[in-house]
Structure 1
Amino acid sequence: MKTVLITAGANGIGLVMAKAFAGAGYRVWVTDVDAGMLATLPAGMRGSVCDASDEPAMTALFAQIAAEWGGLDVLCANAGIKGPTAAIEDMDLAAWHQCLAVNLDGAMLAAKHAARLMKPAGKGVMIFMSSTAGLYGNPFRAPYVAAKWGVIGLMKTVAMELGPHGIRANAICPGSVNGPRIDLVIEAEAQAKGMTPDAVRQGYASGTALKRLTDPEDVAAMALYLASEGARMVSGQALAVDGMTYNVDP
C-alpha cells in the first residue's frame, strides 16, 4: 500500500486531499498545529501535531514515519498561512518572517526530510502547494506572494536534484479556493482596499475565464494525478488549478 504525508492536513484543502488519497487506497499521515482538528480525522488516518516550520519537530516526525512505515511514497507539502494584508510601506517585519517561515521554510524542511527517505528507495513524488499568487503576484499580499514564488523556485530545484534518483516534484497553484480561509483573505483585502467583501469575491471570480472560484476537490484531483503513474513524465511544473486567472486585482 502506498503512503502519503500531508502537512497541515487536518482541515481545508489538506483534509480534502487526505480524504482523496485515502479513497484511492493510500495510507495517510497528516500533520497540523491544531490538535483538536487532528482528533476529528476519519478513521484510519494517522495524525501528528507538528509545526511545519519547526525543524526539530519535523525531524522527529520523519523519524517516526521511517520507523512505522519504513519509507514514504508521496509528500504533499501543504502547510501555509495567509500572512498579513497591508501596503508594503506598512508591512510588519515580524509578520513577514512568520509568513515565509511557514509557507517557504516549511516546504523546504518537508522536502529535506522526505528526500532522505525517498532517495534510498529510488522513487517518490513531492507535491508543493504554491498559488496563483506565486505566478502573478497580488497587491497587499507581499509576504504570501514572495513565499509562494519561492516555493516554485524550490520545487524546480528539487526536481532537478532528485530527478536522477527517480523522484518527481511539482507545484500546484490554486486560485481562490472556496472555504473559510479565502473568506478571511477577502475580508482583509476588502478592508485594505475600502471595498465590500462581496465586491472583492466577485472580482476574484470575474477575473477567471470560468467565472467561478476553485473548490478544494479540484486541488485534490490534481494532487492525485501528480502522484499517479499517469504523471510519470511530469516533473518541475507549476500547475495552475484556477479556472484560468487573467486579472488578479479586483
Structure 2
Amino acid sequence: MLYTGGAGNLGKKTAETFLREGAKLALVDMDKSKLEEAQKELSNDNVMIVGANVTKEEDVKNYVEQTVNTLGSVDIFFNNAGIIGGVASIEDQSLDNFNKVLSINATGIFLGMKYVIPVMKKQQHGSIINTSSVDGLRGSPNMVPYATSKHAVVGLTKTASLEVAGNNIRVNSIHPAPVTGDMMKTVHQGQSASQGSGDEQVQEEITESIPLGHYADSRNIANLVLFLASDESDFITGSQYRVDGGMGATS
C-alpha cells in the first residue's frame, strides 16, 4: 500500500489498520522528520518512508518508483495529502492561498494518479482512494479554496474511474466529517477570528451540525479506506463515500 499524507494523525491510524491486515506500506509526506517519527512509532519492518512534495511532478514520480522498487507493486493507493489553508471570506482570500490549497489538494491528487495508474495498468488491478471532504459535496463559508479543491477531487475521481475501469482498477473518493486533530484546530482558529468568537464556541457550533454529535476519529476514516481497498468492495468504483456522522442527510 502506498499513501500520501502519511505523517499525520489519519496517516498513522491508517498504517496501524493496514499493518494488522499484513500489508506492506510506503508512507509519503513532505515533512521527513515527522515521517521518521511515524515510522519509529509504528515499529514495523513492513513500513518504508519517502519524503516528497506532492505538487512537484519529479517528487511524485520518485515516490511511485521507490515504492515499486521496494515493495514490488502498488495494489492500493490512498491519495490523502491535503491542507486546510487560510480561513477567510472570498474577498479576503489571497490568490496565493487559493493557489496553494488547490495545488496540494487537487494537483497533488492528479499527479499521484498520473504516476500510479500506469503501474496498476501493468498489474491489471488496483484500488485508488482519494481523500475529499464533506466540503467536497457542499458549500463551506470562509473556506472557498478548500471547498473548491475538494470538489475538484470528485471530478478527478469520477473521470479516472471511467478511464481505468477496463483495467480492473477502481477509483473512489471518501468524504469525512470534521476529524479530531490539528487540521480542525486551524479551522477553529480561522473561523473564530472571522466571527469574533472563541475557538470553543466554533467547535461547539460545528459539533451541533453533526447528527451523531461528535467529530470523527481517524479510526472511522481508516476503516472506510480498508473497506474500499479490499475485495469486499470489488464492484464499487467512481463513488463518493461519506463518513460524516449523518451530515449528508441534512442536505
Aligning the two structures, in what range does the TM-score lie when normalised by the shorter sequence? over 0.9
Mapping of residues 92-241 of structure 1, within 5 Å: 92-241=94-243
Q: 1:26 to 1:181 in 2, by over 3 A?
A: same
Whether the aligned pair in 1 keeps the contact of 2:242 and 2:248 (CA below 8 Å) is: no
TM-score normalised per structure 2:
0.94
**Displacement after TM superposition at 1:183 (Å):** 1.3
Output the amino acid matched with 2:35: L
**Displacement after TM superposition at 1:51 (Å):** 0.8
2:8 matches 1:11: yes
Whether the aligned pair in 1 keeps the contact of 2:24 and 2:71 (CA below 8 Å) is: no
**What fraction of aligned residue pairs are identical, expressed as a percent?**
29
Whether the aligned pair in 2 keeps the contact of 1:208 and 1:247 (CA below 8 Å) is: no
TM-score normalised per structure 1:
0.95
Q: Using the alignment, how far apart are the partners of 1:24 and 1:70 within structure 2?
A: 18
**Displacement after TM superposition at 1:70 (Å):** 2.5
Which secondary structure does the structure 2 equivalent of 1:39 belong to?
helix
1:83 match: 85
Q: Using the alignment, how far apart are the partners of 2:2 and 2:68 within structure 1?
A: 12
Q: When the two structures are aligned, how many residues end up with a matched partner?
A: 245
Whether the aligned pair in 2 keeps the contact of 1:159 and 1:236 (CA below 8 Å) is: yes
Whether the aligned pair in 1 keeps the contact of 2:5 and 2:82 (CA below 8 Å) is: yes
Unaligned runs of 5+ in 2: none
Q: Which runs of 4+ in 1 moved over 6 A?
A: none
Whether the aligned pair in 2 keeps the contact of 1:16 and 1:220 (CA below 8 Å) is: yes
Q: Using the alignment, how far apart are the partners of 1:204 and 1:85 within structure 2?
A: 15
Q: Using the alignment, how far apart are the partners of 1:11 and 1:208 within structure 2?
A: 23
1:38 match: 35
Which secondary structure does the structure 1 equivalent of 2:137 belong to?
helix
Whether the aligned pair in 2 keeps the contact of 1:155 and 1:236 (CA below 8 Å) is: yes
Unaligned runs of 5+ in 1: none
Q: Using the alignment, how far apart are the partners of 2:6 and 2:82 within structure 1?
A: 11
Root-mean-square deviation over aligned CA pairs: 1.3
